Chain A
């Protein structure tokens, strides 16, 4: 086993579960999350020999993960459009039919509200609210200033609150 393979196996051990949860929040379905995680790690393996260490390994991995997830969302939008369906309706259907969704009605409503957020706001919301990533790390991963991320998260929370009602979603303000 060479150095690159050893490093890859370390990455799998340290990051696969975390990447899975992040991806799962986006795709709202276990099977698709599983496929997408494999795609992300295949990409990581392919790009690993060119990893020069200018960015931290964590940041580099999360950039790949978030980019691949956004690409998946865009592909899914096109697929939905070709079926003359809306991506929002498709996401709601996934949340309702996911056999590994164990939450209550409020959790389900929150997932649906998050799925309706615009791509970038959803990305920020998931990284901050579910993945609990500090703003500084988010800034490195997404290449956006901390101030802009805070503003984006605030707007996303307001939209979720408006969809659920203040009693159901408190948020992080």
Chain B
């Protein structure tokens, strides 16, 4: 039982193999899909990281009294406007806004909200 002589190659194989292998440096470099997409993935990832970092910093520096979106937005608006002239004026009265309660009800009715639903909402607001 021999260790090497039990298998062979076609005649002149190794000369041909060496020739083919030595042509590898002349071949155009193959760019894989992963490498082609890498710059775009990197940009998207850095954008995501920036958004997450920004969000995290804002959450840490802002301490809204209630953990709901509107109070958070209100808090941010106040923080952005240190002079007190809030960007979002939550306490506009009827005169300032130029909208009466009737205007709002008419708008909601025109928008498809039923009278029953409006009654329910006003009941909820009252109690």
Contact = CB atoms under 8 A, between A and B. Distances in A.
Q: Which size class do A's interface residues fall under?
A: 35 or more
B98 interface: no
Contacts of A9: 22
Nearest to B29: A46
Interface of B: 1-10, 14, 17-18, 20-22, 24-25
Interface of A: 4-5, 8-9, 12-13, 16-17, 20-21, 24-25, 30, 34, 37-38, 41-42, 45, 98, 100-104, 106-108, 110-111, 129-130, 132, 168-169
Contacts of B6: 101-104, 107-108, 111
Contacts of A16: 14, 17-18, 21
Interface majority SS on A: helix, strand, loop or mixed? helix
A51 to B, nearest CB: 15
A50 to B, nearest CB: 14
A108 B22 CA distance: 33
A37 B9 CA distance: 14
B9 A30 contact: yes
27 contacts: A4-B25, A12-B18, A12-B21, A12-B22, A16-B21, A17-B17, A20-B14, A20-B17, A21-B4, A25-B7, A30-B9, A34-B17, A37-B17, A41-B21, A45-B24, A100-B8, A100-B9, A101-B7, A102-B5, A102-B8, A103-B6, A104-B1, A107-B1, A108-B6, A129-B3, A130-B3, A130-B4
